[in-house]
Amino acid sequence: MKHTISVLVENHSGVLSRISGLFSRRGFNIESLAVGPTQDPTISRITIIADGNEHTVEQIEKQLNKLIEVIKVKTLSKDECLARELMIVKIACTADKRSEVMTIADITGAKVMDITLTTMTLELCDTYAHLKRFEEIVTPYNILEMVRTGTIAIQKGADVIAARK
């Protein structure tokens, strides 16, 4: 089962290395990892998608909390978070297919980022499942290049994952 773990950390060099090393030493697999600043420039948020059972997630949380630079760890259930990924995909697209691809982009909510005589580059920000479906839809058009971010997630409602003060 996939778990979304949100980690607030001190924003300085070496923190990501220590966290990924912790996962490696313990044999935990990271499926997705995204790091970015928060509203406080001294704190970063790391969103980790890890596969495992409840015991594995509990062990991950305990190990993360032992690291000095970790401020707060929270595992978010699917029901209590909003999660998104970003995909940018460049497909082969000559003039005769352009209207088809534009229709697909319109229906799926993708944004056209770039057009050349032989390619179109599309951007889509959505859930993992929708991005997977979008990839399947554009695959017949010959994907030349594709890049995706890791998942980012935030807690639903008024609750926040705030740094200890």
CATH at residue 122: 3.30.70.1150
| Calculated CA dihedral for residues 53, 9, 41, 12, nearest 10 degrees | -130
Look at residue 164 and tell me whether its pLDDT is greater than 70: no
Retrieve residue 159's tokens: 């609750």
Among the three residues 26, 49, 76, which one is the final residue of a domain in this structure?
A: 76
Look at residue 50 and tell me whether its pLDDT is greater than 60: yes
Domains in the chain: how many in total? 2
Condensed to tens digits (0 to 9), the pLDDT of residues 79-104 reads 899 999 999 999 999 999 999 999 99
Considering the domain architecture, whether residues 47 and 101 belong to the same structural domain is answered as: no
Considering the domain architecture, whether residues 71 and 130 belong to the same structural domain is answered as: no
Among the three residues 19, 43, 76, which one is the final residue of a domain in this structure?
A: 76
- Residue 161 within a domain: no
Return the DSSP state at 105.
Answer: H
Backbone angles phi and psi of 79, in degrees to 5: -75, -20
Euclidean distance between CA atoms 9 and 68, whole angstroms = 9
Q: What is the pTM of this model?
A: 0.85
Euclidean distance between CA atoms 123 and 103, whole angstroms = 14
- Residue 157 within a domain: no
pLDDT at 81: 92
Residue 27 region, left (φ>0) first, then alpha (ψ -120 to 50), else beta? Answer: left
Return the DSSP state at 13.
Answer: T
Considering the domain architecture, whether residues 66 and 107 belong to the same structural domain is answered as: no
Supply the range of the domain harboring residue 140: 82-152
Please tell me which residue, 26 or 126, carries the higher pLDDT value.
126
- Residue 160 within a domain: no
Q: Among 51-55, 68-72, 123-127, where is mean pLDDT lowest?
A: 51-55
Look at residue 165 and tell me whether its pLDDT is greater than 60: no
pLDDT at 1: 83
Q: Which of 160, 157, 152 lies closest to 37 in space, CA to CA?
A: 152
Considering the domain architecture, whether residues 114 and 50 belong to the same structural domain is answered as: no
Look at residue 56 and tell me whether its pLDDT is greater than 90: no
The pLDDT-based confidence of 53 (bands split at 50, 70, 90) is confident
- Rounded mean pLDDT of the chain? 93
pLDDT at 159: 85
Among the three residues 50, 76, 102, which one is the final residue of a domain in this structure?
A: 76
Q: Which of 115, 150, 122 lies closest to 45 in space, CA to CA?
A: 150
